[in-house]
A and B are shown apart, each in its own frame.
Chain A
Amino acid sequence: SQTIHQWPATLVQPVGSPLSLECTVEGTSNPNLYWYRQAAGRGLQLLFYSVGIGQISSEVPQNLSASRPQDRQFILSSKKLLLSDSGFYLCAWSRMFTGYEQYFGPGTRLTVT
């Protein structure tokens, strides 16, 4: 069976500090990978998605970036965090041609102070 891991589960970082969130998927090959952000009481905002190693599509211009160094690893980064970067970050995967059926990780709660 497939599993998706995210870490850390919670993170408190000061404004201006760097960020690195990791996501890994097990039990599948060539997944599509996604990063979402969810503000409190709101829906999911797609930040990045990737259809393969080194292939990243950005949906929202901001101070975040994503990388996919390995087939089942997806990293969300920032060089300098802003207060507005606080939120619940979710990684998800889908099979190659069924992007509508996504499987989400447990999420990372980021608080920027």
Chain B
Amino acid sequence: GESVGLHLPTLSVQEGDNSIINCAYSNSASDYFIWYKQESGKGPQFIIDIRSNMDKRQGQRVTVLLNKTVKHLSLQIAATQPGDSAVYFCAETDPRGSYIPTFGRGTSLIVHP
């Protein structure tokens, strides 16, 4: 099937810096895109989503950007904190698939104090 992938498996940043996690997708029919955060030994936690008719959405310290032309999604975390250290998954949903997300492999974000 079609896949969701991530450019970088590991991202290391200094505390206070901004982090950008990228994701490429291939299913042009996908209409919801989601970012999840998974801390070590825990289940993933929903962070933010964006619909395909938008190109930007902001949350608390996080911003998701969607570029449908190049099928690219990114998660920006402002003023990264040690508590942001986790694996971040992007996921896409296809309305033909009952909106069940297809998850990418994940990017490990390491925040150095």
Contact = CB atoms under 8 A, between A and B. Distances in A.
What size tier do the contact residues of chain A reach? 20 to 34
A99 B100 contact: yes
Contacts, number: 51
Contacts of A49: 98, 100
A103 interface: yes
B91 interface: yes
Contacts of A43: 89, 103-106
A107 B43 CA distance: 6
B42 interface: yes
Chain A binding site: helix, strand, loop or mixed by DSSP?
A: loop
Contacts of B99: 97-100
Contacts of B104: 43
A107 B42 contact: yes
A92 interface: yes
Max count, chain A CB within 10 A of own CB: residue among B43, B49, B103, B105: B43
Given A43-B89, A44-B89, A99-B93, A104 B45 contact: yes
Interface string A42-63: 1110100101000000000000
Interface of B: 32, 34, 41-46, 49, 89, 91, 93, 98-101, 103-106
Interface of A: 34, 41-44, 46, 49, 51, 90, 92, 97-107, 109
